[in-house]
Amino acid sequence: MSAEEISGDMTDGFHLVVDALKLNGIDTIYGVAGIPITDLLRLAQNEGIRYFGFRHEQSAGNAAAIAGWLTQKPGICMTVSAPGFLNGLVALANATINCFPMLLISGSSDRAIVDLEQGDYEEMDQLAVARPHCKAAYRVNRPQDIGTGIARAIRAAVSGRPGGVYLDLTAEVLGAALDAETGRKSLVKVVDPAPSSPPAPEAVARALDLLASAQRPLAILGKGAAYARADQEVRAFLEASGIPFLPMSMAKGLLPDEHPQSAAAARSYAIGNADVVLLAGARLNWLLSHGRPPLWNEGTKIVQVDISPTEFDSNRAIAAPVVGDIKSVFAAFNAALKPGKVKPSGAWLDEIGRRKTQNIERMAARLNADPSPMNFSSALRAIRNALATQPDVYVVNEGANTLDFGRNIIDMDKPRHRLDSGTWGVMGIGMGYAVGAAAVTGKPVVAIEGDSAFGFSGMEIETICRYELPVTTIIFNNNGVYRGDPADRPYSPTGLLRDARYERIIEAFGGAGYHVTDTPSLTKALTEALASKKPALINAVIDPTAGTESGHIQSLNPKSAAAQKK
Ligand SMILES: Cc1ncc(C[n+]2csc(CCOP(=O)(O)OP(=O)(O)O)c2C)c(N)n1
Ligand SMILES: [Mg+2]
């Protein structure tokens, strides 16, 4: 059937889904077409919703997830049943672990057949599979429930701690008819989908008292703080109190990296020696060494601001928990902060400053070197130079060494402009995030990709070219995962094809390809690509011996206890 050919007094599942999405301000869908959602996608497009069709559902899901993080509206990914759903599920799980609001909406096969395992086309109990991997999962079984199903899914994704939500739409429901009036009445416009959650005054007082008692306070800002769009409130509090801060990776730019209170260049010293840490929208997970020694001091007291109370005491005791949304909490902090009440000691600020200068000088020597072939530092310096005058550019970054060096070397000036592998350190987000960011911001995107990382979503270069998005992909081509094959070990588990000409991939789709082997050419290619506002791919040849195993997290590789006992 064609979804448009229905008589005036009747509607159907296809129309109700589109009407419900539009009613709730959803204007973009990312997906891959097929049974049973093809007509749904066509109809959505006819009704003015933008549709981005991908080459793989994981990338469509990643685009939706990052769109959600950038807009505070759930990003929508639509897929076909079983295999398409499973491909999208990785992105849904990744969105959930990163607290990005996203909806994975998948068509599903005939429930009567699926539930009796009678072997339907793309048979799978998708709801059961999805449930452990997302924040909430729902199935709509009747057309008159579509409005409620979408409303619940939207609210679950964006309220409280944001996350991924799965919505199962059976083929039967999509095709089912309903009289138009009943259909209209069944739609739900979600009122205040992410209600603010102001903190309790006593929690605010406890937090400020603890910070006031500190000689050596430190703030750690997570991507939850960036998501909250509390840019002014957070900055005002940190500047009024003078507390030095560290941004987690995707919180870079919440305050500019150049800000004098940034302690990023003295990270270990600052964490290890703080007496009170203000943790805002960041979790004490592996990325912060669980808040434990040796990085952390046992005696450090922690103020934790989080939307989710179950986060407190997750890894160590929290002295001053503050439940609430970051914007409301920092507004309350600002209102309650008396001038001079919180005051880091001069010695603490001086020591952080001294170590920052020392570390920056040490890094400068590495950054200013110009080895041939390029290494991570020199190539990133070339990129940094090209980006220096372009603070609007969104930076996507994945890989191991490419990610770790990239995080340290590429400064961010604006909030929510750095999009990377996140909580899981996952590979494969690159091209999906690039498309999602370009789609919702209309701004240029530069994706800095390890050659292995790029491979996970590389076919989406065609998607980028098809939609003519202003995305420049830079591949750090060191012939492998972490580094190239050693000469005496071809086909090593970490090796990739030597000297691959990745730039020719984009040329196949009409984009601009560059092959660069030195830093001036890299800066020039990137500057040219950004000026063109068109799809480009720069194959940057990096010394295959430059990377280290696992980048900066080598210590997480298991070591054989047996070998150590020898
Ligand atoms: C989905 C997924 N699969 C595998 C990994 C393991 N892994 C971590 S980094 C990485 C690739 C690193 O190589 P590359 O992207 O080329 O970066 P480089 O260190 O060479 O700069 C891989 C495969 C992962 N993090 N995520
Ligand atoms: Mg590599």
Q: How far is the CA of 452 from the centre of ligand 2 (A)?
A: 5
CA quadruple 58, 61, 62, 63: dihedral sign: positive
Does residue 551's CB lie within 6 angstroms of at least one atom of ligand 1? yes
Does residue 450's CB lie within 6 angstroms of at least one atom of ligand 1? yes
Cis preceding-peptide flag for 294 (omega within 30 of 0): yes
Confidence of residue 486 (pLDDT cuts 50, 70, 90): confident
Does residue 399's CB lie within 6 angstroms of at least one atom of ligand 1? yes
0.95 exceeded by the pTM?
yes
Q: Is the pLDDT of residue 484 over 90?
A: no
For the CA of 496, the nearest atom of ligand 1: 16
Rounded-to-integer distance, Cα 504 and Cα 93, Å: 33
Going by alpha carbons, the residue nearest to atom 23 of ligand 1 is: 481
Q: pLDDT, tens digit, for every residue of 402-445?
A: 999 999 999 999 999 999 999 999 999 999 999 999 999 999 99
Q: Please tell me the number of the ligand nearest to residue 449's CA.
A: 1
For the CA of 402, the nearest atom of ligand 1: 21
Does residue 481's CB lie within 6 angstroms of at least one atom of ligand 1? yes
Does residue 475's CB lie within 6 angstroms of at least one atom of ligand 1? no
Q: Taking a C-beta distance cutoff of 8 angstroms, is the pair 388, 410 a contact? A: no
Does residue 461's CB lie within 6 angstroms of at least one atom of ligand 1? no
Torsion angle of alpha carbons 170, 176, 181, 185, nearest 10°?
Answer: -10
Does residue 377's CB lie within 6 angstroms of at least one atom of ligand 1? no
At 1 the pLDDT is 43
- Among residues of the chain, what percentage have pLDDT more than 70? 99
Q: Is the pLDDT of residue 217 over 60?
A: yes
Average pLDDT, the chain: 96
Residue 512's DSSP bridge partners are: 536
Q: Is the pLDDT of residue 566 over 80?
A: no
Q: Is the pLDDT of residue 237 over 70?
A: yes
Half-sphere exposure of 520 (CA within 13 A, CB side): 0
At 490 the pLDDT is 85
| Helix %, strand %, coil % of the chain (to 5) | 45, 15, 35
For the CA of 480, the nearest atom of ligand 1: 16
As a whole number, mean pLDDT of residues 116-138 equals 96
Of the given ranges (256-260, 480-484, 487-491), which has the lowest mean pLDDT? 487-491
Going by alpha carbons, the residue nearest to atom 5 of ligand 1 is: 427
Q: Is the pLDDT of residue 7 over 80?
A: no
Q: Please tell me the number of the ligand nearest to residue 549's CA.
A: 1
Which residue among 401, 478, 482 is best mutated to probe the pocket of ligand 1, counting the most ligand atoms within 8 A of its Cβ? Answer: 482
Tokens 């054989």 found at = 560
Rounded-to-integer distance, Cα 4 and Cα 192, Å: 32
For the CA of 427, the nearest atom of ligand 1: 26
Does residue 272's CB lie within 6 angstroms of at least one atom of ligand 1? no
Which residue among 481, 483, 492 is best mutated to probe the pocket of ligand 1, counting the most ligand atoms within 8 A of its Cβ? Answer: 481
Q: pLDDT, tens digit, for every residue of 150-205?
A: 999 999 999 999 999 999 999 999 999 999 999 999 999 999 999 999 999 999 99
- Nearest of 167, 136, 168, 31 to residue 87 by alpha carbon: 31
Tokens 């130079």 found at = 385
As a whole number, mean pLDDT of residues 449-466 equals 98
- Give 75-144 as a DSSP string: EEEEE-SHHHHHHHHHHHHHHHHHT--EEEEEEE--HHHHHTT---TT---HHHHHGGGSSEEEEE-SGG
Q: How far is the CA of 198 from the centre of ligand 1 (A)?
A: 40
Return contacts of 257-260, CB within 8 angstroms, 24+ apart: 257/411, 257/412, 257/413, 258/411, 258/413
Does residue 328's CB lie within 6 angstroms of at least one atom of ligand 1? no
Does residue 401's CB lie within 6 angstroms of at least one atom of ligand 1? yes
As a whole number, mean pLDDT of residues 541-566 equals 88
At 565 the pLDDT is 64
3-class DSSP assignment, residue 506: helix
Q: Please tell me the number of the ligand nearest to residue 453's CA.
A: 1
3-class DSSP assignment, residue 544: coil
Q: pLDDT, tens digit, for every residue of 351-383?
A: 999 999 999 999 998 999 999 999 999 999 999
